Chains A and B, each alone.
Chain A
């Protein structure tokens, strides 16, 4: 690939690091607080009425599901907003593309950075659920890796959306019609086995579903060969959205 050279990535990460050093409080606050609100609000609130799901305490079910909420929010939104702002408002990418750097390197570099950040944020709800009865296991060490690979595809998805919209206000269509269903047809707050068959089939195309399945297996010590299917689905998702992101943004930036 002529358009991709790993030697361009450190500079992209340098830029992200400089920005993160300035804004880490805000970014971390949102990324940590929101999933925790879901955990406590739904986990404990609904948990007062629903005792157990699949033989586990409801708060534990939701706590592990909230990992995927954290992954989704910490990846797709930066993918959408940061990319749009840098491209349209600040024109930063126009500057970067006049240096020996390509659109593919910018998008992949930024996605890797956001996914790495998400690998950390994703663990917060899991750790927060431990006092409520989630048992600590060594297989939980897989969770950052699961969060990373899920976030990679979701960040690409966000970047792709940022390249599709003309104005930033159009993001709300994607939030309502795409991201909210991704969150609900995934098994975060209730098992998808309660959904109609067609919805269950559809959830196979949902990276959040595969993320949750893997996270629960890692948290409950139930990892099996089926984990590979979920990993393969997440990798495939990232490859598809990554291609879409690079193609769309290249079209926008190189005229």
Chain B
């Protein structure tokens, strides 16, 4: 195994009865990088995260965290991990400081270092002034910051962030992105699941698109866009019949297109005949994005 892998997943499978949540999935994450697992709700991202922490057992395959086999050395693996769960699972009746120092103890941070770790986490989470407030009294954004700060308390080498900004308003989300970004810069390996395109594009060095428990594409955001959707797209609005026509014309012209509600996007138009595009109607031009890639690859929408 190359020393530079922080996480190696080989043919990992998880079945719950007849349902296959994770389907023979393989993944290798280089140390010091940030991988975004992009996929809709129910794609198997949370199950995969739980398999990495040993909280969901593998039906088949193997997972190695920093060279430790999760099936046999789960405890040792967890001591190198930091986890920010999708579902807030903090003790509400405890204060912010109590939560953090309890977490430091649970993560086996040596007693002498705990105070410093807590102080550091308080300042990264920007909760120094709220340290003695009960968690129940914090806003949603503050709770998320605390949850994120908590995930880093044991100076982990690999951090799992499961939908770190789900359900938060845009301002809070961009605050959290700053926080994640600065942690990422400290050199820790991050595996982050998300179904927000912008989140994946901003934070991840590398993206794995997950659908139905499988990875269907992998690469940098730029690589994925260029390979699957081209550089630019044009978007047409109009009644369904007009959109149907444009779709047919695009196909005839050898261009890929995708529908989204009242619009259609024709993709990879950077080298297409501009007059032809004009002739189809009024449109606006935009760069392609990962959503285009996702829809092209799966035929499904991310928000489904």
- Please list the residues of chain A having a beta carbon within 8 angstroms of any beta carbon in chain B: 2, 5, 7-8, 10-11, 14-15, 18-19, 22-23, 90-92, 94-102, 253-255
Find out whether the CB atom of A19 lies under 8 angstroms from the CB atom of B105.
no
Say yes or no: B106 contacts A101, CB within 8 Å: yes
Shortest beta-carbon distance from A140 to chain B in Å = 36
Question: Does B89 contact A91, Cβ atoms closer than 8 Å?
Answer: yes
Q: A94-B89, A100-B75, A100-B78 are in contact. Are A18 and B55 (CB under 8 A)?
A: no
Residue of A nearest to B108 (CB): A100
Q: Which of B8-28 contact A (CB under 8 A)?
A: 16
Beta-carbon nearest neighbor of B80 in chain A: A100
Residues of B39-61 at the interface with A, using a CB-CB cut-off of 8 Å, are 50, 53-57
User: Which residues of chain B come closer than 8 Å to A91, judged between CB atoms?
Assistant: 85, 87-89
Task: Mark interface residues in B82-97 (1 if CB within 8 Å of A CB, else 0).
Answer: 0101011111111000
17 cross-chain CB contacts under 8 A: A5-B75, A10-B105, A15-B91, A15-B102, A18-B91, A19-B91, A19-B94, A90-B92, A94-B55, A94-B85, A95-B83, A98-B78, A100-B75, A100-B78, A100-B106, A254-B57, A255-B16
Sample of 18 further A-B pairs with CB below 8 A, known A15-B102, A98-B85? A5-B75, A7-B108, A11-B102, A14-B105, A15-B91, A18-B91, A18-B94, A18-B102, A19-B93, A91-B88, A91-B89, A94-B87, A95-B83, A98-B81, A99-B78, A100-B106, A254-B55, A255-B16
The residue on B at minimum CB distance from A19 is B93
A contact face: mostly helix, strand, loop, or mixed: helix
> CA–CA, A94 to B83, complex, Å?
11
A217 to B294, CA, bound (A): 74
Q: B residues within 8 A CB of A18?
A: 91, 94, 98, 102
> How many CB-defined contacts (below 8 Å) exist between A and B?
75
Given contacts A91-B87, A102-B75, A96 and B54 within 8 Å (CB-CB):
no
| Nearest-CB residue, chain A, relative to B21 | A255
**B220 CB within 8 Å of chain A:** no
* Cα distance, A2 to B73, chains bound together (Å): 10
B183: interface (CB < 8 Å): no
Judged by DSSP, the binding face of B is: loop
Q: Is the CB of A95 within 8 A of B89?
A: yes
Q: A residues within 8 A CB of B75? A: 2, 5, 100, 102
Docked-complex contact B102 and A255, CB < 8 angstroms: no
Give chain A nearest CB distance to B132 CB in angstroms: 13
C-alpha gap A90/B93 in the complex (Å):
11
A255, B57: Cβ atoms under 8 Å? yes
User: With A99-B78, A102-B75, A254-B57 in contact, is A11–B105 under 8 Å at CB?
Assistant: yes
A226 CB → nearest B CB, Å = 43
Write out the residue numbers on chain A whose beta carbons fall within 8 Å of the beta carbon of B54.
254
Q: Does B196 contact A (CB under 8 A)?
A: no
Chain A contacts for B50, CB-based, 8 A: 255
- Which residues of A are found within 8 Å of B87, using beta-carbon distances? 91, 94
Q: Find out whether the CB atom of B56 lies under 8 angstroms from the CB atom of A254.
A: yes
Task: Give the distance to chain B from A81, nearest Cβ to Cβ, in Å.
Answer: 14
A96 to B108, CA, bound (A): 12
* Residues of the A chain whose Cβ atoms lie less than 8 Å from the Cβ of B93: 19, 22-23
Known: A99-B106, A99-B107, A101-B106. A255 touches B92 (CB 8 A): no
B103 contacts partner chain A, Cβ-Cβ < 8 Å: yes
Q: Which partner residue on chain B sits nearest A11 by CB separation?
A: B105
Q: Is the CB of B94 within 8 A of A98?
A: no
